[in-house]
Structures are given as C-alpha cells and as structure tokens.
Chain A
Amino acid sequence: MLITGIKSRPVYDELTPMATGASHVAAAQGSGGEPLVRLLREMDPDQLSATTVLYSVESFTGKNHLADLQDFAVRELVVFPTNADAVSGLDALLATAKMGTRLYLSGSEGFIGTSMQVATSYGMNRDEVLREHAGSFVRRVWCAHCSHYSENVSRRIFRCPGCARHLIVRDHYSGRLAAFQGVKADGEVPGELPENEELDT
C-alpha cells in the first residue's frame, strides 16, 4: 500500500429528500439505483412530481434497478445506456434548471465525481447536492503523463491505455479532476515494478 487511509477521498452522504428544494434532479448509475429507490420512497407526492430521474444502466457489478425506479410517479424518468451519456444528460438538464433545484447523485465514485464536475460548472454548491456511494470502489484514474482518464481501475498497477506506461494508482483523489492520480510505476528503476495488488474495491 502506497499510503494508508485516503484523506482526499470524498466523504459521502446518505440520500434523503431535501425539503427546502423547489425542484429535484436525481441521477444514478448501476448499483446507485438502490439508494435512489430509497430516496423516492421517502419523498411525498409533491416532491415526486417535481423530480426528474436520470438513470444509467451501465454497471460494473451488473446491478440494474430500472424496474424499481419505474414504480414512482416522478416528473420524468430518463434512461441512458452509458454513464457518460447520463452525465451529458445531466449537463443538458442543469443548463436550463432554475435556482431552488436540488441534486442527488449515487453510484460509482467516477460517476459521482464527473456528475459533480457538471454541477459545479453550473454554480451548484455543496448545500444543494447529496451524494451516496453505491457498488464497488473501482477507481477513475488520471494519468499524470498523458492526461488519459481510465475508468473502473481495480488493480494497484495497470497499463495506461493512453501512453502504454505502467502506472501505479496513488491513494490521492482530486475532486477537481474527479479521479485518482496514476504515476509511472517504474520511475526509479526502469523495468522494476512494485508488487501488484487488488485495490480496496
């Protein structure tokens, strides 16, 4: 282990209706559908009718909660095939959203992080957003050498698809980049790689 205890990793919340909001946007992927179902169950009919749900069926663990999500009388439920599409959908929705909107995010760290980048670009603050992690802790990794982003990284050492270097995943999360940092693994002695290990996924 490079560093133990990841101080930079976000502290996640538990999704619960934010009663002071006038409009709600709930976005999730894969396993994140479960906290979303729990959130919608806690909402009263007025809140539900003011809620737009965005759900991506892409999942690392194979969990799909779409059928459960379809049970609620929300304003709109939009389904996306991939996480990237869901994040783009969120971007389009927030572009015309008004003050008074509350955002709920759940799913993988990469999905929450990239969604949070979108929310921040529209000036949403932390008192308007709740985030709940769900599913595995696979990591989104940014390559310090070629700036390539790798999704769903589960091993300490992997080959960067952008520059083919062996990268070691540091326990350093950047909220701005929504990713962990990956640096050349054999920087000291070329060809000498540290022992690989499973990340805390």
Chain B
Amino acid sequence: MSEAHHGALHLRVKRIEAVTPEINRYTFSAADGSWLPPFSGGSHIRVLIPFEGETRRNAYSLMSSPYDTSEYQIAVRRVEEGKRGSIAMHRDIREGDVLTATIPANLFPVSKHARHHVFIAGGVGVTPIYAQLDELSLKGSSFELHLAVRGPEHAALGHELRERYGDRVVLYGDGDGTRLNSHEILGGLPLGTHAYVCGPSRMVDDVIGAAHAHGWTDSHIHFERFEDLGSTGDPFSVTLARSGAVVEVSPEQSLLEAVEEAGHKLPYLCRGGACGECETEVLELEGTLDHRDDWLSESDRCTNKLIMPCVSRATCTKLVLNA
C-alpha cells in the first residue's frame, strides 16, 4: 500500500474528464503504483493545489468505489469566486502530474443501523454519495437518491447514477420542470430512516428544517456543506505562546494556514470547522473572536477561551494562543 508521509499521499493524475460545463472528474493512482489507503463511503481528501506560488488545500469527496483502492476519483467544480483553488485544478493540472493530498478522512459516513437511507444532493454535492451508494448497494441496503441539477447540461453525473441504480435515483431540474421538495421527500418514511444531504448551505438548512417539521431527531440527519467555508477577512496577528512566535494572518489565508506557512504545527483534520481536532485555547484576547465553525457550542463561544483555527478569525489588537 502507498505510504503516507506526514499524512500526505502522492497521487498521479491518471485521467481528466469534463463531465459537465463546470465539473471535471479526476482519476488518481498512487505515484509509486501501489495500492492507496482504503476508505469508507462519504470520505474526503484534501488536495494541495499549487496556486500562484501559494498552496490551496481543498477538500474533495472520494467518488470512486470504496472497494477499489487502485484509484481515487474526485469531481471538481470550477468556482470563480473565493480562493480559486478549483480554477488552478481546471487550468493548470494535466494528466500525468503528481499532486499531494491528505489521507482520506470521513466526516459523512453512512449509518450502519439504518433501515432505509434517503440521500438529497445538489449538483456536485452528489460526489460523496457515489461512494456511499457503492457501499450500500453491495450490502443490499435500501436507499433512494434525490438529486437537483441546474439544467440538462449539468445532469451527467445524475444520469450515470440512474443507469446504475434505476428508479432509486430521482433527478430534478433535468429539463422537465421538476423541483426538489424536501418536505415531500421526507414525509411518511419508515422508522429507522436516515437522511443525508450534501449541497449548498441553503439546501442543507432546508432539508434539516423539513426533517424537523416531520418530527425527526438530529441523530437521523446527516449533512455536509460542500461550499468551502474558507476563511477570508481582515488581517490580524497571533502570538503562539509556547514559542513566542508572532504570525501574521493575511486576508486570503486561514489562521491555521498562516501558522503552518510560518513553519509551526497545529493539529487538524477536516479544515472545515466540523471535526473539532484543531480546537485551541485562547490565553489572551484584546478584541473579538469571529467564530465560523460548526464545532464549538454557544456557551463555549461566549467564554472567548477557545477558537478553531481552521476557519475562525479575530478582529483584535492582541491574540495569544496556547500553541
């Protein structure tokens, strides 16, 4: 199996396919030709993308089969705004190139005990579901997928899944005027159903709201917001108490990225404010913290004693971290 060095894999770009006007699918194999680490459906990797002398660390879901670790596949939608890592993927990366990526982590696994699985996705949000359905269909589990697309030219991935799974895949917006209605989808489902939503924040919030309206509890609702929350904003500086180092965080990078660039290490996993791995103690603060994570509770936030450096920022004249 391919070895990860400091949690990093070297992936060779085997194939690039344009699947929609905005989405490319990349097939990777290990640069040394060996097997890649196994993963479960819903996993993602972070691809380190060279971009104008800097490095973008974008998370992409693995969409290939978890039962074939000779290769990984990801789909990258070109996003013009934001930190433009996806632009570099589309513009600069060619077949044969070698990219560095983190080993797979899964913050969006399927429930092992569900009696029925309902997936709801928008556009490129369908990518983690590819691998999840592979896993479930081999086990003979019961599932359905509802996928919203912006028009027939954006529906290629949906058609692929319809070919594999037939009527269990329902497409909306594929030129027939249908619209995805999460309230209808989630009504009257049997006990023990689990719902999974991956898409823009608006869609995720809509599905969570509909599930709650039908009386669902949170343990049955799983979501992944594919919009990279990123972390851009006003620059600020941070002091790392253990080394005394002062690090400047530029408007274009996260606190975590700035600390890494300065040659220091902080623990991390998801780099999206979800997993809790990078939780760091705030020792001194003159100003206010700008919490952007999904991890800290409201009461944690109010104490001003904890911060998630992967997404959160500060407006401050002084910030000292226990790191």
Q: Mark B189-215, 1 if CB is under 8 A from A, else 0.
A: 111111000000000000000001011
Q: Mark B133-156, 1 if CB is under 8 A from A, else 0.
A: 000000000000000000000000
Please report the C-alpha to C-alpha distance between residue A21 and residue B211 in the assembled complex, in whole angstroms.
Answer: 11
The answer to the question of A67 belonging to the interface, with a C-beta cut-off of 8 Å to chain B, is: no
User: Among A20, A21, A122, A127, which residue has its beta carbon within 8 angstroms of that of B191?
Assistant: A122
**Contact call B215/A20, Cβ cutoff below 8 A:** yes
**Contact call A123/B114, Cβ cutoff below 8 A:** yes
The answer to the question of B243 belonging to the interface, with a C-beta cut-off of 8 Å to chain A, is: no
Interface residues of A in 99-147 (CB under 8 A from B): 99-102, 120, 122-128
**Contact call B215/A123, Cβ cutoff below 8 A:** no
Please report the C-alpha to C-alpha distance between residue A30 and residue B115 in the assembled complex, in whole angstroms.
Answer: 32
The answer to the question of A97 belonging to the interface, with a C-beta cut-off of 8 Å to chain B, is: yes
Count of interface residues, chain B, beta-carbon cutoff 8 Å = 19
The answer to the question of A78 belonging to the interface, with a C-beta cut-off of 8 Å to chain B, is: no
Known: A125-B217, A128-B217. A99 touches B115 (CB 8 A): no
Task: Report chain B residues within 8 Å CB of A20.
Answer: 212, 215, 217
* Min distance, Cβ B109 to any Cβ of chain A, angstroms: 15
Please report the C-alpha to C-alpha distance between residue A124 and residue B114 in the assembled complex, in whole angstroms.
Answer: 9
Please report the C-alpha to C-alpha distance between residue A158 and residue B217 in the assembled complex, in whole angstroms.
Answer: 43
The answer to the question of A98 belonging to the interface, with a C-beta cut-off of 8 Å to chain B, is: yes
* Min distance, Cβ A120 to any Cβ of chain B, angstroms: 8
**Contact call B219/A99, Cβ cutoff below 8 A:** no
Task: Report chain B residues within 8 Å CB of A94.
Answer: 191
**Contact call B191/A123, Cβ cutoff below 8 A:** yes
Interface size class of A (residues with CB under 8 A): 10 to 19
**Contact call B115/A100, Cβ cutoff below 8 A:** no
**Contact call B215/A124, Cβ cutoff below 8 A:** no
The answer to the question of A92 belonging to the interface, with a C-beta cut-off of 8 Å to chain B, is: no
**Contact call B193/A123, Cβ cutoff below 8 A:** yes
Interface residues of B in 104-119 (CB under 8 A from A): 113-115
The answer to the question of A51 belonging to the interface, with a C-beta cut-off of 8 Å to chain B, is: no
**Contact call B114/A99, Cβ cutoff below 8 A:** no
User: Top 4 A-B pairs ranked by shortest CB distance?
Assistant: A123-B192, A100-B215, A22-B215, A125-B219
> Could you list which residues of chain A lie within 8 angstroms of chain B, going by C-beta atoms?
20-23, 94, 97-102, 120, 122-128
> Could you list which residues of chain B lie within 8 angstroms of chain A, going by C-beta atoms?
113-115, 186, 188-194, 212, 214-220
* Given A100-B216, A123-B193, A123-B194, 15 other A-B residues pairs in contact with their CB atoms under 8 A: A20-B215, A22-B215, A94-B191, A97-B190, A98-B188, A99-B189, A99-B190, A99-B192, A99-B216, A100-B215, A101-B191, A122-B115, A123-B114, A123-B191, A127-B219
- 25 A–B pairs (Cβ distance < 8 Å), ordered by A: A20-B215, A20-B217, A21-B215, A94-B191, A97-B190, A98-B188, A98-B189, A98-B190, A99-B192, A99-B215, A99-B220, A100-B216, A101-B191, A101-B215, A102-B215, A122-B192, A123-B113, A123-B115, A123-B191, A123-B193, A124-B192, A125-B219, A125-B220, A127-B217, A127-B219
